[in-house]
């Protein structure tokens, strides 16, 4: 451990000597803790990082020759990109049967918009049962393992802030029936949080640096440093499904998506993505694009609005493909980018209200307006590293019912509506009569456990009611 005297000149050179303001007043343990937090930061790189991202707002330049990215349509008979869905579905099933597929959830976020105490995966999300998100995913994985007679390991990325609470939750619930040997937890990295005006790292306590998880893009490094990729290699895993912890209806192991990723001629089986057609031009969603022969996701705020409004000959938006953050990664690809020299995803800057200690008084301050900058990496910035990347269209009802906000769009209520609509579609296809409101939406609340059906066809032969009464709440 370096001493204070060792560190002071380096901190001064990086304009961060204020971190030692209270060092003389700390207990020996607190001082050691402060010094080890400082030692974990790459101080040499800090001044450039602060100049580029904290004191200045990086400008984004649209890549040259940007165009809309091609995608496999949900309907495989569409004339613009027809394909043999049966063949790729079977290829995905073969990979599942052979035990070559793992699941990976990024659960290190702070979930500040939802305002829920505790890891977001513990949120009671089931439309009827209120079962936690982690249980919904566990049931999905259990059902997949049973259906394909294979082990499907699950990797869960936490953050240092919620790691212990997440592991404790799984222990309390007996890992929801999964074999604990097949569920691996590891925390992601963190970044210091900065004062927006001065670029100085904030202190949340006299001996505690303000930090934030380093973004879902940090997962690609954390998979490597945690040993998760090695563990996958030992188990013979070739590809893993990547999903976010707040998506209650994600189809974690979709055979068609896995099959296209692994076997389509225009895929290098490195990173594949699902896309959702944008509902309207101004929708705030990252957009799939191509440039220089590579695939990119461009944030809505970086894409000129005229381009977002442009339509093609068919009258549909030219940049139609929005990203719901659903991917499949090739294990070897993630290993390769980690061992390649110079693998470094860019940072994204977010202005936040960050409670901190006033350096002059030592008092805690809770700001009313954003005072700090948080730097994060985003997973989709890895897309252009893939040689050939495919995109598959999905639908909001089938694959995307996120819980991000306490109310309104992407809230527990909208997620419950989407879960109900998905269950209603599946039940209707199986011949069950669904009560409808005047706007055509189901007049009931429904939830189908992945243990009952992973896909509509699994409902064949299930014990189903002929009809659902209006106003009923039913979990199958
Ligand atoms: P969000 O962008 O919704 O961020 O994360 P968040 O931190 O969960 O929520 P807010 O913005 O504070 O309300 C999308 C997904 O990426 C994960 C989240 O857990 C979620 O699954 N994530 C995000 C991480 O795993 N680590 C991070 O550092 C950030």
DSSP string, 336-393: HHHHSTT--PPPEEEEE---EE-TTT--EE--SS--EEEEE--GGGGGGGSSS--EEE
Cα of 79 from ligand 1 centre, angstroms? 37
* Closest CA to ligand 1's atom 15: 244
pLDDT at 397: 97
Q: Which residues does the chain have with pLDDT short of 50?
A: none
Angle, alpha carbons 66-69-72 (nearest 5°): 170
pLDDT tens digit sequence for 67-98 = 999 999 999 999 999 999 999 999 999 999 99
Nearest atom within ligand 1 for CA of residue 244? 21
Output the pLDDT for position 55: 96
Measured from the Cα of 243, ligand 1's closest atom is 21
With a Cβ cut-off of 6 Å, ligand 1 is lined by 106-113, 120, 157, 188, 213-216, 218, 244-246, 376, 404
Domain ranges, ordered by start, for the chain: 4-40, 67-404, 405-476
| Residue 105 Cα: closest atom of ligand 1 | 21
Integer angstrom CA distances of residue 80 from 66, 289, 330: 20, 17, 27
Residue 65 structure tokens:
């020759």
Distances (CA, A) of 306 to 38, 68, 284, 300, 426: 46, 14, 14, 12, 38
Q: Are 189 and 211 in contact (CB under 8 A)?
A: no
For residue 451, CA distances in Å to 137, 145, 417, 421, 466 come to: 10, 11, 20, 18, 21
Question: In angstroms, what CA-CA distances link 59 with 21, 284, 441?
Answer: 34, 19, 43
Distance between Cα 119 and ligand 1 center (Å): 11
What residue ranges in 246-360 does DSSP mark as E strands? 271-277, 287-291, 294-298, 321-322, 327-330, 348-352, 356-357
Half-sphere exposure of 399 (CA within 13 A, CB side): 21
CATH number for the domain formed by residue range(s) 67-404: 3.90.550.10
- pLDDT at position 461 is 86
336 contacts 233 by C-beta, under 8 angstroms: no
What pairing do the DSSP bridges indicate for beta strands 101-106 and 239-244? parallel
How far does the centroid of ligand 1 lie from the alpha carbon of residue 70, in Å? 27
435-473: b (≥16 Cβ within 10 Å) or e: eeeeeeebbbbbbbbbebbbebebbeeeeeeeebeeeee
Distance 463 CA to ligand 1 centre (A): 38
| pTM over 0.85, yes/no | yes
Could you tell which of 216, 217, 248, 380 is best to mutate to test the pocket of ligand 1, judged by most ligand atoms within 8 Å of the CB?
Answer: 216
Q: Tell me the CA–centroid distance for residue 403 and ligand 1, in Å.
A: 11
For residue 405, give the ligand 1 atom closest to its CA.
13
Q: Taking Cα atoms as reference points, which of 251, 183, 242 lies closest to residue 216?
A: 242
Q: Are 124 and 130 in contact (CB under 8 A)?
A: yes
How far is ligand 1, taken at its centre, from the CA of residue 216, in Å?
A: 7
What pLDDT, on a 0 to 100 scale, did the predictor assign at position 3?
84
Nearest CA to ligand 1 atom 4: 109
Crossing angle of helices 255-263 and 85-97, in 10° steps, is 100
Give the pLDDT score at 287. Answer: 98
List the residue whose alpha carbon is closest to atom 28 of ligand 1.
215
Work out which ligand 1 atom sits closest to the CA atom of 120: 19
């Amino acid at each position: 451990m370096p001493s204070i005297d060792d560190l002071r000149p380096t901190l001064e050179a990086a304009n961060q000597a204020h971190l030692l303001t209270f060092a003389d007043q700390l207990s020996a343990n607190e001082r050691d803790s402060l010094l080890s937090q400082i030692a974990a930061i790459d101080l040499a790189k800090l001044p450039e990082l602060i100049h580029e991202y904290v004191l200045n707002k990086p400008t984004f330049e649209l890549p040259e020759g940007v165009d809309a990215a091609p995608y496999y349509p949900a309907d495989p008979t569409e004339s613009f990109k027809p394909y043999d869905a049966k063949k790729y579905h079977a290829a995905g099933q073969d990979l599942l049967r052979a035990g070559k597929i793992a699941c990976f959830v990024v659960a290190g976020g702070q979930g500040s918009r939802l305002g829920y105490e505790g890891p977001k995966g513990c949120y009671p999300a089931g439309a009827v049962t209120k079962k936690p998100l982690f249980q919904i995913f566990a049931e999905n994985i259990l059902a997949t393992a049973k259906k394909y007679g294979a082990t499907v390991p699950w990797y869960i990325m936490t953050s240092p802030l919620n790691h212990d609470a997440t592991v404790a939750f799984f222990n309390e619930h007996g890992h929801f029936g999964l074999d604990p040997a097949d569920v691996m937890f590891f925390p992601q990295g963190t970044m210091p949080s900065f004062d927006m005006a001065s670029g100085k790292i904030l202190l949340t306590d006299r001996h505690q640096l303000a930090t934030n998880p380093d973004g879902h893009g940090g997962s690609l490094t954390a998979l490597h440093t945690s040993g998760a990729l090695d563990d996958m290699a030992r188990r013979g895993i070739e590809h893993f499904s990547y999903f976010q912890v707040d998506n209650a209806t994600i189809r974690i192991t979709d055979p068609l998506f896995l099959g296209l990723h692994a076997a389509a001629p225009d895929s290098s089986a490195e990173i594949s993505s699902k896309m959702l057609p944008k509902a309207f031009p101004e929708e705030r969603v990252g957009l799939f694009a191509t440039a220089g022969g590579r695939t990119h996701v461009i944030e809505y705020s970086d894409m000129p609005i005229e381009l977002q409004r442009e339509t093609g000959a068919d009258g549909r938006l030219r940049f139609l493909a929005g990203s719901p953050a659903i991917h499949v990664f090739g294990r070897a690809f993630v290993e390769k980018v980690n061992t390649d020299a110079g693998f470094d995803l860019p940072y994204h800057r977010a202005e936040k209200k960050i409670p901190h200690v006033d350096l002059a008084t030592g008092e805690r301050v809770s700001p009313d307006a954003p005072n700090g900058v948080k730097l994060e990496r985003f997973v989709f910035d890895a897309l252009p590293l893939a040689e050939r990347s495919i995109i598959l269209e999905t639908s909001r009802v089938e694959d995307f019912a996120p819980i991000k906000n306490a109310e309104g769009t992407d809230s527990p209520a909208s997620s419950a509506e989407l879960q109900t609509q998905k269950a209603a579609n599946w039940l209707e296809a199986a011949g069950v009569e669904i009560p409808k409101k005047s706007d055509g939406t189901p007049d009931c609340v429904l939830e189908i456990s992945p243990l009952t059906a992973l896909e509509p066809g699994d409902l064949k032969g299930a014990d189903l009611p002929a009809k659902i009464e209006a106003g009923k709440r039913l979990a199958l």
